[in-house]
Amino acid sequence: MESNSRRAFLQTSSGILLAPGAALAAAAQAQPAARMRLGVITALGPKNPPDAAIAYVRELGFPTCQVEAHEFSQAIADDLKKALARHQVEATALIASGPGRMDWNFYQGPLNNGLVPPETRKVRVEHLKKASEFARQAGIPAVFTHCGFIPENPNEPLYKDVVAAIREVAQVCKANGQLFLFETGQETPVTLLRTIADVGLDNLAINLDTANLILYGKANPVDALDVVGQYVKAVHAKDGFYPTDPRELGKEVPIGEGKVDFPAFIARLKKMGYTGAITIEREITGPKQKEDIARAKGYLEKLIRS
């Protein structure tokens, strides 16, 4: 995380020491305000070891990234920490999901995703605990996942079970000095707000995915900030359209071509005082992905600086 603190008294041009209060005010004026910075998602895997994954981030010109990983060993964590230092990239969060089947639609998704399905909940809780330990070893300050289609009805027994599972994972993250981030999309902002309150820990926060709220038909991301803005500590910049097929999610598209009002969204983040990372996500592969990411980077940089 960026730090603007300095411990020093400032001197006037005549060499007179300023009083402590004046020194702090002068220091604040002399330093640039903390600013949102851009990032991109990079994934670790057998064919993409840590150094290659982080070199990709630097190649694209980003100072931050979110790292997706599925295997958690001390050796990989050590290599990742070294790669981040070597390429001077900040990893803002670790993305962890599974194991097991995950479906991105409205029929199989509620049955298979996140911590909601009872059949896979225990193994996924343990997987997220391992992810938290891996993040601690690599020096990553947050872990996030899709918790699944959290029930809208808080009176359902399933809801209470999901809350308990999230609390179990978040407690481990808290012990490791980390935030536990909810990835938005599969529940309404109100349900997410209720879940955070019911889990009841102070290290809970949100990775707000601008497109997911639209792709799942759950909310407009600008308006969602009215409900959960206080908990937003990370952002995915992504674009898309609302679903028109009741079985399938809406379509993801390049940033600037969908329904997300990025000028309004960035303006709201600024008004809220948000200074975290904005991590670009483009859910395709190949050369077109890099082209779209580069274009999104230029577009979002102008909004951040304006």
> Model confidence over 266-280: pLDDT tens digits?
999 999 999 999 999
- State the chain's mean pLDDT as an integer: 90
Residue 139: name the closest of 107, 104, 176, 194 by CA. Answer: 176
Radius of gyration, alpha carbons of the chain: 20
Q: What is the rounded CA–CA span in Å between residue 218 and residue 176?
A: 32
* Range 153-162 average pLDDT: 97
Which of the residue ranges 31-35, 94-98, 142-146, 163-167 would you say has the lowest mean pLDDT? 31-35
Two structure tokens written together for 146 = 């899709």
Percent of the chain's residues with pLDDT above 90: 88
Q: Is pLDDT of 91 > 50?
A: yes
User: In Å, how far from its chain's centre is CA 116?
Assistant: 20
Percent of the chain's residues with pLDDT above 70: 89
Helices and strands in the chain: count of H runs, count of E runs: 11, 10
Q: Which residue has the higher pLDDT, 13 or 47?
A: 47
Give pLDDT tens digits for 184-224.
999 999 999 999 999 999 999 999 999 999 999 999 999 99
Q: Is pLDDT of 178 > 90?
A: yes
Q: Residue 35: which pLDDT band, with cuts at 50, 70 and 90?
A: confident
Q: Residue 141: which pLDDT band, with cuts at 50, 70 and 90?
A: very high
Per DSSP, the three-state class of 215 is helix
Instruction: For the domain made up of 36-305, give the CATH fold.
Output: TIM Barrel (3.20.20)
**In the chain, where the domains are located:** 6-35, 36-305
Per DSSP, the three-state class of 177 is coil
The torsion angle over the Cα atoms of residues 98, 101, 105 and 109, rounded to 10 degrees, is: -70
Q: Are 244 and 257 in contact (CB under 8 A)?
A: no
- pTM: predicted TM-score of the whole model, two decimal places: 0.88
At residue 225's C-alpha, the angle toward residues 274 and 228, to 5°, is 95
Cα torsion angle, 281, 184, 261, 244, sign:
positive
Q: Are 54 and 84 in contact (CB under 8 A)?
A: yes
